[in-house]
Amino acid sequence: MTMHSLGEMASLERSRPLGRWPSGQRLVVTLAVILGVAAGAGPGARASYTGTAAYLDIGMGARAMAMGGAFVAVADDATALYYNPAGLADVGPWQLVSFYSNQYQAAGYGALALAGRGLGGGVQWLRSSGIPARDEYGNASDEFDISQTAWRLALAREVGPIAVGAALAYASDRYRETSGSGLTGDVGALMDVGSVRLGVAARHFWGARTSSTGVREPFEPQLVAGFSWRLGSLLTAAEVALRGPVRAGAEYRLGPLLALRAGAWSEDGYLNWSAGVGLAVGRAAIDYAYADARVLGGSHRLSLSYGF
């Protein structure tokens, strides 16, 4: 979690009695949750940074990104607003998380999330300016800017042994002389089985962007399922996206102040890696991540957060 000391406390204080369920009953509930969300995502679910409003898939926190993006079954801080809204049911004190990334030296990407128990809101934005435009002969003609913004609002509740959540996102963008906007939504579920947490999320699984020229483009749905396992100071996580990347990551805590992280994911036939560190001082924390994507190059990512 971005607020490390608060996240550790939340992990220790989870009260859902999942470990006492009979194994057969746990399996039935797990499959029902996964199949239910999969039905909402549809057969065309994908998980790559392409398609309508692709910037929505970048994420919201340096901690998750240092762990290779494998966060659907962790989701224990304010960034659950993006990774799995069901995680907001476990967020205790109010948390404010800010995030910034230089995306492949081409665009500035940022996010801000505020969440308390069962409720969260935030914004994601991407800006790139001074992009050279070229004519049909390849000659530079003028420059243009790209501006994209998405506002999010999410709710989460515990329903028996399962935490469920839903989020709405309003995305708008401007590209040269054209603009567009649309409403989409996410749903997710989490269940603890002893020290293992199972998670599933369907992201922007409905809705469409309508451009200023009247063109309607459906959002690209994602279905992601995974697990996390906490063993003392070590947290490991893995997830898979339908028709998308496989991700894995780990976090090792060196006391209450320092955490080391690493992760990897497969995409477009390449294996990419990431690493990072987190430092907590009182209620404040800073997280750093470096992601080395072989296709587009590396990027630095930074999160600042505060709990109150």
Query: Does residue 216 contact residue 51 with C-beta atoms inside 8 Å?
Result: no
Above pLDDT 70, what percent of the chain? Answer: 74
CATH superfamily of 4-307: Outer membrane protein transport protein (OMPP1/FadL/TodX) (2.40.160.60)
pLDDT of 130 reads 64
* Residue 35: its H or E element: helix 23-41
Q: Work out whether the CA dihedral 293, 295, 297, 301 comes out positive or negative.
A: negative
Between these two residues, 254 and 17, which has the higher pLDDT value?
254
Query: Does residue 141 contact residue 124 with C-beta atoms inside 8 Å?
Result: no
- At 174, the pLDDT band (50, 70, 90 cuts) reads confident
How many helices (H) and strands (E) in the chain?
A: 4, 16
pTM score, two decimals?
0.79
Kindly list the domain boundaries of the chain, sorted by start residue: 4-307
Residue with tokens 């500035």: 108
pLDDT of 63 strictly over 90: yes
| Mean pLDDT value across residues 76-86 | 96
pLDDT tens, residue by residue, 178-209 = 899 999 999 999 999 999 999 999 999 999 99
| Mean pLDDT value across residues 240-261 | 94
pLDDT tens, residue by residue, 11-53 = 333 333 333 344 444 443 433 433 343 333 333 333 344 456 6
Between these two residues, 256 and 243, which has the higher pLDDT value?
256
Mean pLDDT (the chain) is 81
- The top-scoring range by mean pLDDT among 226-230, 267-271, 279-283 is 226-230
- The top-scoring range by mean pLDDT among 21-30, 94-103, 210-219 is 210-219
